[in-house]
Amino acid sequence: MKNFVRVLALWACTGLAVCAPGQTITLPEPDPRYKADILLVVGHPDDDIEVASYLARAIELEHKRVAVVYMTHGNSGGNAIGLEQSRVLKQVREIEARKALGSYGVENVWLLPGSDTPGADVLRSLEAWGHGEALEQVVRIVRLTRPEVVLTWLPDYVVGENHEDHQGASVLANEAFDLAADRLAFPEQLEAPRNRVSINNYGEGLRPWQPKKIYFFSDATHLEFARGKGPEYPSNAISPSRGVSFAAVAATSWRFYKTQDDFTEATLKQFTETPVQLIFGKSLVPASVTGDVFEGITDGAVAYAKPRGYEPPTPDVQLELGGPWAFYRAFWPAHGLAPLAALFPPQAQVAPGETLWVPLVLRNDSDKPRQFTLHAALPEGWSEKPEVTTLTVPAHDAWPIQLTLTPPTGLAKESWQTLEWKAEGDGSSLGSVSLRVTVEANGLPQ
């Protein structure tokens, strides 16, 4: 038995630490070069500019460590300076991103292989990226960087900020926040290598990690909904090392994104001088909604916080908006983000003369088939195809309805219209939904 224990100790020393017989075995600490206070998870190179003045301030004045994850290389973006497109544009935009972030002190940057998908439906981005594979990559980076705070786009469809890659990045950031400390989530990442100083090991040797807070930001055309929903950081504070404002630091960073530089000097000045408005997501430490990002955060790990997860909606027979609206309605409470539902009602936009896609879902979670009669209440001049009237939905099933709506000509630009649908069955109401729509161009396909 003594010989067996000695052999076991020698094996452990060889595999995980270098030690002589009789020594205490100690594990190496996680690689300190990649430890982050803030992990920014965004869709494309240049998304970081949205919060650059805050990040530069946190790095210089508070000595915070920042790491950045881009879900794509921005390969489908335009090019304001040259003809380079597609795969070569990926390489150009990666260099731009590293220079832009490096200009104010961010060195740890990851560009993941998701394809740039210019559209407005978050589910399309997740499909194109391979949702599970992309999530595994983000969880891996969270475990490597061990951030205190995760910062990402707002997970919602909002007029002026409904790029599906922005939302996709946020969905993955939230899911990784809830999974990185779960030992059953991608457990191969947590497996210790059998001999870390040798070659051909399996197991990645990472440790579980639970971030403490998550915050959101948006570049929506109307940010009134965000006021008072999180901390706000003016960009006019002066950088001691540079002698200019952090707005100017952000503008300097932006100029490295020459392929994307369609700002006039006046527009850039206005954009970078606007305060950074964050939206409180959730905190696992005591913290107020509008308090500083690092309020309540102390050194050291916190326990894994098991997410609530998906729960079937109630009542069991009802009419719902489908597509991204249905997804977020289930996503928010599953990840502890229920207050986001109250920020603003469902909304969309359509350019004058174009059509608007609206998905509806007739859901029947009861034990018998149910008949739905659908009624549309549209503003004057709007048309709808197809004109759906009555459908029977089997028990424990759902029936998707894809509608195409056309606004009337002559509507005032940026005017808001409310579209409504009601469902009835067996002489009673089975639910209603409404969608606020603004008539303005978006630049993204639906």
* Predicted confidence (pLDDT) per residue in 273-311, tens digit: 999 999 999 999 999 999 999 999 999 999 999 999 999
- Per-residue pLDDT for 21 more than 80? no
pLDDT, mean of residues 335-354 = 92
E strands, 182-262, are 213-217, 232-233
Phi, psi of 177, rounded to the nearest 5 degrees: -55, -40
* Domains of the chain by start residue, with CATH: 1-27 (no CATH), 32-283 (3.40.50.10320), 317-439 (2.60.40.2310)
pLDDT, mean of residues 342-367 = 91
* Beta bridge partners of residue 416, listed in sequence order: 438
Confidence of residue 443 (pLDDT cuts 50, 70, 90): low
> In this structure, is the dihedral angle defined by the CA atoms of residues 313, 216, 219 and 68, taken in order, positive or negative?
negative
> In this structure, is the dihedral angle defined by the CA atoms of residues 178, 204, 165 and 385, taken in order, positive or negative?
negative
The closest of 207, 215, 106 to 150, measured between CA atoms, is 215
With tokens 């009789």, the residue in question is 22
**Residue 234 Cα distances to 28, 54, 57, 224, 416, angstroms:** 41, 8, 10, 16, 31
pLDDT at 47: 97
- Give Cα 197 distance to the centre of its chain: 37
- Per-residue pLDDT for 198 more than 50? yes
Task: Return the higher-pLDDT residue of 119 and 70.
Answer: 70
- Residues 239 and 446: their CA atoms lie apart, in Å, by 42
pLDDT at 159: 87
With tokens 């430890």, the residue in question is 35
Task: Return the higher-pLDDT residue of 276 and 194.
Answer: 276
pLDDT, mean of residues 310-329 = 92
Q: What is the mean pLDDT of the chain?
A: 91
**Residue 146 Cα distances to 196, 285, 309, 381, 389, angstroms:** 21, 16, 23, 54, 53
- Residues 303 and 297: their CA atoms lie apart, in Å, by 14
386: enclosing H helix or E strand: none
Q: Report pTM.
A: 0.93
CB 36 within 8 A of CB 66: yes
- Per-residue pLDDT for 5 more than 60? no
- Residues 32 and 41: their CA atoms lie apart, in Å, by 20
Amino acid 381 reads G
- Per-residue pLDDT for 11 more than 70? no
- Per-residue pLDDT for 1 more than 70? no
Confidence of residue 440 (pLDDT cuts 50, 70, 90): confident
Confidence of residue 16 (pLDDT cuts 50, 70, 90): low
- Per-residue pLDDT for 40 more than 50? yes
Q: How many Cα atoms sit within 13 Å of 171 on the Cβ side?
A: 27
> In this structure, is the dihedral angle defined by the CA atoms of residues 150, 216, 118 and 254, taken in order, positive or negative?
negative
Amino acid 44 reads H
- Per-residue pLDDT for 221 more than 80? no
pLDDT digits (tens, 9 = 90+) for 137-172: 999 999 999 999 999 999 999 888 779 999 999 999
